Amino acid sequence: MRFGLRLIEYLGPVPELVRLAVAGEKAGFDSVWFPHDTFMRHTWVTTSAVATATERIEIGSVGTNPYTTHPLELATYAATLDELSGGRFILGIGLHTLDMIGWAGVDATDYLQRHREAVHLIRGLWRGEVMEYDGEVFQWGPECYLRFKPLRPDIPIYLSAFGEDFLRLSGEIGDGSLPMITPPASAKQMIAPIREGLAARPDPAPDYVVSGCGWLSLSKEKAAASEVMKNLAAYFGPYLEDRALRTIGLGASDFAPLRELVDAGQMEEARARVTPNMLRLGIAGTPAEVIDQIHELKDAGVNEVNLGGPLGPDPEEAIRLMGEEVIPAFRN
């Protein structure tokens, strides 16, 4: 089992995120990830800062997408950051929802074909090929090639995906997948189409990584861990897939009142509406309880648990507990 640390911007400004990434490296995490969410701090800047502050840990983006950023920019960003980090970058490309880019009037109805073509074009650029191309989405001329040689021609690409078709595509064309496992009970449901995509590949992918993106709240005190999970449940719960929510007896309609409150700027009122069952959207509890929940994810087919969200009442303490008690339980 690999361990990823996903640092969302609510944990603090960029210097604080860099400091937590360094703490994650010291704690033994294999990778550190930064969501590229609409209208939030820019992942490219944060990942670049982390690359210069760390030595071993792999660095990834979650949800950089070929709508708000052109594939040629994604290709050069990834290759440049891979060079800066000494070959430690993972390009996480995709979307976990269409809603957020829709705020800016972006029509993403062609997301399957757009991601298929974008991945093809990006990989070709890294290999040093001239990517003259006439696709359904992208049309490139003979001038489309990199003017520098990437450190690695095969930087890993993981797809952030939602829905069965997109998850299947992530298995078919990715080096890994970044499915949301919120709630953790939905992990088997998310992984099934990924495996179908893997089976459809012309080439085997023995090193394929299912990096399940879950929410973590870890503390020595269970009640404290549960309390801080409320903010994420209130804000992000309305954007989760209905079929995933049904695995814990909830549905999108249960979160509709919370979304109205959040949209109206009434976060405290939305937080107060979070029910105990909604707290099952994440992995919360003491180190022993978190270990048990991660074992369940491993049994479901997750081979990298990608832990984000609040992390705990004290994020730095949560990272320390992961390094001292949780990660060693899977390494010894």
Overall residue count recorded for the chain in this entry: 332
Phi, psi of 312 (to 5 degrees): 165, 175
What confidence score (pLDDT) does residue 69 get? Answer: 95
**Pair of tokens at residue 153:** 């021609």
**Residue position matching structure tokens 């010894």:** 332
Query: Which of helix, strand or coil describes residue 132?
Result: coil
Angle, alpha carbons 9-1-47 (nearest 5°): 30
Residue 95, token pair as written in the block:
């979307």
Contact call for residues 131 and 76 (beta carbons, < 8 A): no
> What is the identity of the amino acid at 42?
H
Indicate the fold that domain 2-212 takes in CATH: TIM Barrel (3.20.20)
- Contact present, 52 and 86 (Cβ < 8 Å): no
DSSP string, 224-269: HHHHHTHHHHHHHGGGS-HHHHGGGT--HHHHHHHHHHHHTT-HHH
Determine contact, residues 332/28, Cβ cutoff 8 Å. no
Cβ contact 91:60 at 8 Å: yes
pTM score, whole prediction: 0.93
Residue type, 146: L
What is the distance between the alpha carbons of residues 163 and 96, in angstroms, rounded to a whole number? Answer: 9
- 55 three-state secondary structure: coil
Sequence-distant (≥ 6) Cβ neighbours of residue 44 within 8 angstroms: 61, 77, 81
Q: What integer pLDDT is reported at residue 99 of this predicted model?
A: 83
In order of 70, 222, 237, 248, 303, the CA distances from 286 in angstroms are 43, 6, 23, 21, 22
The per-residue pLDDT for 98 is 86
Q: Which pLDDT score is estimated for 154? A: 97
- For the chain, give every domain's residue range: 2-212
What's the pLDDT at 140? Answer: 98
Helix, strand and coil in the chain, % to nearest 5: 50, 15, 35
Q: Reduce the DSSP state of residue 89 to 3 states and report it.
A: strand
Q: Is 61 helix (H, G, I), strand (E, B) or coil?
A: strand
pLDDT of residue 37: 86
Closest by Cα among 274, 192, 194 to 232:
274
Residue 92, burial from CB neighbour count under 10 angstroms (0-12, 13-18, 19+): buried
CA–CA separation, 10 vs 316, rounded Å?
14
The predicted pLDDT at position 322 comes to 98
pLDDT, position 175: 98
The span from the CA of 317 to the CA of 27, in Å, is: 11
User: How confident is the chain (332 residues) per 10-residue block, as mean pLDDT?
Assistant: 94 96 98 92 95 98 94 98 98 90 92 98 98 98 98 98 96 97 96 97 94 96 91 88 93 93 93 93 96 97 96 97 98 78
Going by DSSP bridges, is the β-strand pair 283-285/209-218 parallel, antiparallel, or unpaired?
A: parallel
